[in-house]
Amino acid sequence: MSLVLGIDSSTQSTKALLVDASSGEILDQRRAAHPTGTQVDPTAWLDAMREATAGLLERADAVAVGGQQHGMVALDRDNQVVRNAMLWNDTSSAPQALELIDELGGPEASAEKVGSVLVASFTGTKLRWMRDHEPDNAQRTASVCLPHDYLTWHLGRRECLTTDHGDASGTGYYSTRDRVFLPELAEQYLGSQVAVPRIAEPSEIVGTTASGAKVAAGTGDNMAAALGMSLEPGDVCVSIGTSGVASAVSTKSVHDKTGGVTGFCDATGNYLPLACTLNGAKVLDFAANMLGVDHQQLAELALAGTPGAHGVTLLPYLDGERTPNRPNAKGQFYGITTTTSREDIARAVVEGLLCSMRDAIEALQRATGVTTERVLLIGGGAKSEAVQKIAPTIFGAPVVVPKASEFVALGAARQAAWALSGEAEPPQWGVHDAQTYEGTYSEQAVAQYESLRDATEHFDEFGQES
C-alpha cells in the first residue's frame, strides 16, 4: 500500500494527514501551532512542519504542501530570509493596492492583465509596500516566493525554488490568461529586479525528501481544498467560517472588472474563481448571543420557524460587506412587528446569512457562465443543522455536507498521490461520509432579502444617501 502525506500550512497551524494513496482513507494525523500575527518568521513554519510531520513523513512515499495564499517571503542572494513574511491578512499595503491598480490602467485593466483587481492581500502589493517603507530590504531582496513554495523547497532539500499555477495566480504578477509569471510586473512593484520561482505543472515531482519521499508541486490553500473535495465544473464550494467564501471550478480564465470575483487558477490545470463575503459564522454567533441561546438551540428555533420568517428579514452586513462591495454598511432587521417570535428572528438570521452566500454564488455564475448544480457546504457555520437543512431552499440546488474537515491537507495528499501515480488525472477519491440535503426553493425568503438589499444599496451607516 502506497502512503502519501498532505500538509496544510495555514495561518494558525500546520496540519499533516497520512493517507492511503489509492482510497483517500486518512490513516494518521498531527498538528503544530504557528506564531500569531500578520507578519511571521518563515522559519517558524519549518519548525511547525517538522513537528507535525514527525513520524509521518518517514512513512510516506510522496508529500505535498497546501499553504496560505499571498504571503510574501523575501529572500536575499544567499537564499536567506530578508524580513518576516507579510501574510495575506496584513492590510498595510491597501494604499499600494490602489496605486498599483492605477498603474495597471484601472480595475478593468488589472483584471485583464492578472485575473483580479488587486487588493491588499496580494503579494505584489506587499512588494510595493516594502519598496516604499523598507527600501533597504527591497534592495536586499533577490527573489520572492510564497509560503507553500518556501516549505516545498525545504522539503525537497532546497533543490529548486518552485511554485504552481494556483498559488502563483494570487501574486498579482501572473497572467491567468497566459498561465505565466509576469516578472516585469514584480520588478515594477518592487522597484528592482527580482527572481520568481519556476512554475511546476500540477502533477509534477519537484524534489525528494531526505527520507526518499517524492515532493509534489503543492499549491495554495483554496486550491488544495477544492482538490480535497474533488470539485468539478458545476460544483460550488461554500465555506462559512469567520467570513464566507464561494468558489467554483471553471474551464476558462475569469476576469471580473468589478473586483467581486478573484480569478485564480486551480491545482489541476483549470481555474478557481472565488467570491468572498465579510460576514459568515459570526452572524450565527451574534444571533445566539442576542437570543441568549447556544448554537444548537438557535438551530432548533430556526427550524421551528416558517420559511420567510413571517416577513422578518436580516441583511447580515454586521461588519460592512464585500459581496456586494458595501464597506460602510451595517446589519439590518426588517419586518419586525409585535407578533414577531424568537423563531422568526432565528429563521431570518439563518436565511439572511445563506442569502448573502447566495449573492456570492450568483457572482460566480455571472463571471463563469456556469450553472450551479451542486453546493458543497463546509466551515464552522456548516455544522449548524439549521444551515444544513435550510441551505438548499435558499441556494436552489442540492447541498452536500461532508463530515471531514481538513480539506486543504487532504487535497495536498491527493496531489501527492497524483504525482506518485504518474497518471494523467488525479485519483478518484470522492467525498467520503457526506450527507446530501434537498429542499423546496424558498422564493419568498430570497425575494424579501433581495428587496431589502436593493433598497439599502445607496445608504451609508448614518442612513444618508451616498
pLDDT of residue 393: 98
Q: At what angle do helices 295-304 and 281-291 cross, to 10 degrees?
A: 90
- Is 454 a residue of the active site? no
Is 365 annotated for ligand binding? no
335: left (phi over 0), alpha (psi -120 to 50) or beta: left
pLDDT on residue 466: 45
Closest-CA residue to 456 (of 288, 272, 329): 329
Q: Looking at 164, 167, 221, 256, which residue is catalytic?
A: 221
pLDDT in single tens digits along all 466 residues of the chain:
899 999 999 999 999 999 999 999 999 999 999 999 999 999 999 999 999 999 999 999 999 999 999 999 999 999 999 999 999 989 899 999 999 999 999 999 999 999 999 999 999 999 999 999 999 999 999 999 999 999 999 999 888 999 999 999 999 999 999 999 999 999 999 999 999 999 999 999 999 999 999 999 999 999 999 999 999 889 999 999 888 999 999 999 999 999 999 999 999 999 999 999 989 999 999 999 999 999 999 999 999 999 999 999 999 999 899 899 888 899 999 999 999 999 999 999 999 999 999 999 999 999 999 899 999 999 889 999 999 999 999 999 999 999 877 999 999 999 999 999 999 999 999 777 889 999 999 999 999 999 999 999 887 555 555 4
Q: Do residues 83 and 135 touch, judged by C-beta distance below 8 A?
A: no
In this predicted structure, what is the pLDDT of residue 251? Answer: 93
pLDDT of 158: 87
Is 70 labelled as part of a ligand binding site?
Answer: yes
Alpha-carbon gap, residue 47 to 32, rounded angstroms: 9
Give the residue from 261, 63, 290 showing the smallest Cα distance to 176.
Answer: 261
36 Cα distance to chain centroid: 19
For residue 433, the model assigns a pLDDT of 81
